């Protein structure tokens, strides 16, 4: 239901919402009519996460999925995203040489991911050896 329209809009006075009617112990939900507006799934996910109080989560999920295109082949091959916490982007490298290259190019990575996030979301990049961790770009 579009924002700003009460869930009970369109009901007759005195009738109960269909979601409150129960049938054999189950809640029956009203069918949803198409509003005629088509949007990209990423927009729908961003709207969903915003409603859930996590507006940036949808953008982060897109970052993980678009990691290769965003960073370019040379950087993407060096490290894979492992996660983020408190403004720190954690990237995993397979070996020490890649780890050192990621550390040297941290500012470049930070600039690209913050531009993608459309804000200064990350304040630093932390590179570490993957040691069998699964990266987020494949999820």
When pLDDT is averaged across residues 85-108 and rounded to a whole number, the result is 93
What's the rounded Cα separation, in Å, for the pair 59 and 43?
9
pTM for the model: 0.58
Residue 111 has pLDDT above 50, yes or no: yes
Q: Quote the pLDDT of residue 27.
A: 59
Residue 55 parent element (H or E) = helix 55-65
What's the rounded mean pLDDT across residues 102-125? 93
Residue 28, CA distances (Å) to 22, 33, 35 in order: 6, 16, 21
CA dist 77 and 79 (Å) reads: 6
pLDDT (tens digit per residue) in 13-68? 444 444 444 445 665 555 555 566 777 666 676 666 667 665 567 678 888 889 99
Instruction: Give the bridge partners for 128, in sequence order.
Output: 92
CATH code given to domain 41-138: 3.30.300
Mean pLDDT for 107-114 is 95
For residues 77-100, give the mean pLDDT.
92
| In the chain, where the domains are located | 41-138
Q: What is the pLDDT of residue 16?
A: 46
Taking every pair of Cα atoms in the chain, the longest distance, rounded to a whole number of angstroms, is 71
Distance CA 135, CA 132 (A): 9
Q: How far apart are CA 117 and CA 24, in angstroms?
A: 47
Could you report how far apart the first and last alpha carbons of the chain are, in Å?
29
**pLDDT value for 98:** 94
């Amino acid at each position: 239901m579009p924002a700003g329209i009460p869930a009970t809009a369109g009901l007759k006075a005195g009738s109960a919402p269909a979601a409150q009617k129960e049938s054999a112990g189950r809640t029956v939900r009203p069918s949803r009519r198409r509003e005629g507006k088509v949007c990209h799934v990423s927009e729908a996910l961003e709207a969903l996460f915003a409603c859930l109080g996590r507006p940036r989560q949808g953008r982060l999920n897109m970052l993980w999925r678009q990691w290769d295109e965003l960073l370019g082949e040379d950087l993407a091959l060096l490290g894979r995203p492992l996660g983020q916490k408190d403004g720190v982007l954690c990237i995993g490298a397979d070996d020490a040489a890649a780890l050192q290259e990621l550390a040297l190019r941290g500012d470049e990575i930070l600039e690209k991911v913050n531009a993608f996030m459309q804000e200064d979301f990350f304040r630093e990049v932390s590179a570490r050896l993957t040691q069998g961790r699964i990266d987020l770009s494949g999820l």
